[in-house]
Amino acid sequence: MHLKKYTIASFLLIILVGWYVYAFVTQGSMSIDIFGLVLPPLSIAALVVLPMVLLYVASVLHMSFYSLMGVLKLRKYEKDHEKMVDSIIDAYLGKENRFHSFKTQKYKLLGSLVDNATIFPTAEFNAEVDNKKINDVLNIISSIRNGEVADLRKYSLPSSNAIVIQNERNRYKKGILSAEDILSSPNRYDTSLCKEVYVDFVKKAPLQTIEKYKNALTKEALFAILSRINANSDTLVVSNEVLVSLFKSMKLNRNEYIDASKTLAKAMLPEQRIKLFEILGNDDEAAVEAYLFTLFDLEMLTPAKEFLDASASDEYARFRAYSALRASGKYFDINLFI
């Protein structure tokens, strides 16, 4: 019952009872002795309605107390609702180390689940949510997925966040950021983005700047560099010393070393190519087969045979087979043995 309506009804009842007693029962007065203290005479009608007034006051206090408790409880739910919205937003954004403290039991359960999950809105999710903060985040995620650039500063996301990486990638693709802008600030951009951009960068950049940012070197970028050596366009002239340094920064396997030799076969001078893989083979066992491949690919049969003769008889079996076939006068493409 609303307090205003209750108060009006109570006063009407008190007035009616008092009027009825005074008008139809008695208009007399009486005094009350309380522990020897004699009170002034009071109308009997007033004495009748007095308990009703006290009951009204007590009931109002009772209702006010529980109304206050209800307001406080509702406020807890409202605060938890806001925290849940923040928790959902953080989950959408993929924030790490999330923890939101909830006051109500129902929200504690839901909050714990959301704080330990990453939520990915589907690409087809176009429904309007009845919450501006969530709608704003959903629109930002959708625009970034579609290749647009969004302002994420107010969300305080780290550079390693997937959404931030995609947003910076979009800025790069739109020309807002250059490759060198990203590579020159490795602490500001995620390592994966730096390495991705470096692959594009080495396709055109001069050797000096390639070496400057070689901390972002990947295998893909290395092969892009190798393809430019003595090429007809975007030519790079690179010494073996520099190449060895680049190879050493990567952990290539046997097949990758052989693929590198194949890439260099297109334009590198034979002498430089042989020397390069000889040096690499001396430093890394995985590069030895690439050295043998290079010798056979360049028809350097004698030094290849000498190398095999100096090696253990159970090593490099496929190259020994190829060497034996060539020694018997038969020709096969060395690539068939790789």
Q: Which of 11-15, 119-123, 166-170 has the lowest mean pLDDT?
A: 119-123
Q: Which of 117-121, 122-126, 326-330 has the lowest mean pLDDT?
A: 122-126
Residue reference for tokens 């006290």 = 54
For residue 42, the cross-strand partners are 30
pTM over 0.85: no
Say what the pLDDT of residue 123 is.
63
Is 70 exceeded by the pLDDT of residue 125? no
**What is the DSSP secondary structure assignment for residue 236, as one 8-state letter?**
B
Is 80 exceeded by the pLDDT of residue 127? no
Tell me: the pLDDT tens digits for 229-274? 998 888 999 999 999 999 999 999 999 999 999 999 988 999 999 9
Count other Cβ atoms within 10 Å, centred on residue 82: 13
Contact criterion met (CB below 8 Å) for 198 and 213 = yes
Is 60 exceeded by the pLDDT of residue 33? yes
Tokens of 85: 């919205």
Share of the chain above pLDDT 70, in %: 96
**Mean pLDDT, range 162-170, rounded to an integer:** 95
Alpha-helix runs per DSSP H in the chain:
3-20, 44-93, 105-115, 132-145, 162-173, 179-183, 191-201, 207-212, 219-228, 240-248, 254-264, 270-283, 288-297, 301-309, 317-327
Say what the pLDDT of residue 76 is.
84
Say what the pLDDT of residue 46 is.
81
Tell me: the pLDDT tens digits for 129-149? 788 898 899 889 989 999 999
Is 90 exceeded by the pLDDT of residue 20? no
Say what the pLDDT of residue 38 is.
64
Domain-wise residue ranges, the chain? 3-86, 217-338
Contact criterion met (CB below 8 Å) for 104 and 82 = no
Tokens of 150: 């969004």
**Mean pLDDT, range 180-204, rounded to an integer:** 94
Q: Given pLDDT bands bounded at 50, 70 and 90, which one contains residue 71?
A: confident
**Higher local confidence (pLDDT), 338 or 293:** 293
